[in-house]
Amino acid sequence: MDTKAIVKSVPLFSSLDDSEIQIIEKYCAYKELFRQEKLFSFDETFNLLCIVTSGSIGIYSNGAQNRLIARYIPNESFGELNLCGISLGNVEAIALDDAGVLLFPATGTFVSFVTDHTDIGAKIIYKLLSNISYRIRETNKLISQNYGWVSELRKAIYTDRLTGLYNRQYCEELFRENKEYVIAIVKPDKFKMINDTCGHKAGDATLVAIAQSIRKALPFATHIRYRSDEFIIVIAGDADIKKTAAAIAEAIKAIDIHAITDGAINAITASIGISKNSITQQAIENTYAIMWSAYNNGGNSIAMEGTK
């Protein structure tokens, strides 16, 4: 059994490098199951990720019909929520035929693993959220959007609590669309001064004001709070890049924070980086670098792809 190849094939670990995969391997244990043998029973605590290496594993619900609700075959995995301490519910896992499974983490807990390996743990947690979001997205295709809990769940996953915009996690959804967009990244200049001078409450209120202003200026765009004081605006690729940048600049210019800061600061400026490309993580990083060129040159300006 090539444990390294199996671990690497799991979406949760696929972005890790070889040295990180080697560490993951040390925390894995292999288990063989005979046909109809249980991996775990109803009401049993199971806090592991399970990777099927051979055969198949069935998940059964506990009810009058004890029905099969999921089946996993080689190279498929389940239990991502278990790592977060979220129970699968009253279910049990049974080998549908002779099977082999790789379990992680077989020693200690996921919390202790993340504590001991913070860099790898951070990458896994980020990918974990992405995978869960993707599964929810796929499940939503099968469920009527009329169900209120679906929209509420999506809102909880993808919404930034402070500004009401999409959060960074939503970028993963855009990456899967493989479409061309105008991508703008906005960073207010000297934002730290607002926090230091007027307090974090004023800083938060300023971020809310920025969010509201750019959303009003470009209502058909997708607005994302990317990092603490940085925003991404994504709009259809046929949009005029110069007009988009100008609209964002005007929106920032129109913001009045006199009341927010009790008169200490009246207005804000921002550095804007903008490009047009198929949206990927690399495209965002490239646009981010363009924005930083404006920021490091004094701010209060627009930097476009292909210009200095």
Domain extent, residue 150, equals 126-157
The whole-number average pLDDT for the span 198-217 is 94
Name 170's Cβ contacts closer than 8 Å, sequence gap at least 6.
158, 222, 224
**Rounded distance, CA 10 to CA 77, Å?**
7
Q: Of all residues in the chain, what percent carry a pLDDT higher than 70?
A: 90
214 lies in the same domain as 104: no
186 lies in the same domain as 298: yes
3-state secondary structure of 276: strand
113 lies in the same domain as 62: yes
Query: Looking at 157, 179, 208, which one is the last position of a domain?
Result: 157
The whole-number average pLDDT for the span 188-211 is 92
pLDDT(274) > 90: yes
| Token pair recorded at residue 223 | 């607005």
Task: Find, among 40, 26, 122, 127, the residue nearest to 88 by Cα.
Answer: 40
115 lies in the same domain as 235: no
pLDDT at 1: 67
Q: Which residue has the higher pLDDT, 47 or 154?
A: 47
pLDDT at 308: 47
Q: Measured on CA atoms in the order 196, 199, 201, 206, is the torsion positive or negative?
A: negative
Mean pLDDT value across the chain: 86
pLDDT at 175: 84
138 lies in the same domain as 183: no
CATH (domain of 59):
2.60.120.10
140 lies in the same domain as 33: no
CATH (domain of 172):
3.30.70.270
| Tens-digit pLDDT profile for residues 230-248 | 999 999 888 899 999 999 9
170 lies in the same domain as 293: yes
Query: Sorting pLDDT into bands at 50, 70 and 90, what band is 255?
Result: very high
pLDDT at 89: 63
170 lies in the same domain as 136: no
Query: Sorting pLDDT into bands at 50, 70 and 90, what band is 211?
Result: very high
| Tens-digit pLDDT profile for residues 93-121 | 999 999 999 999 988 888 899 999 999 98
105 lies in the same domain as 197: no
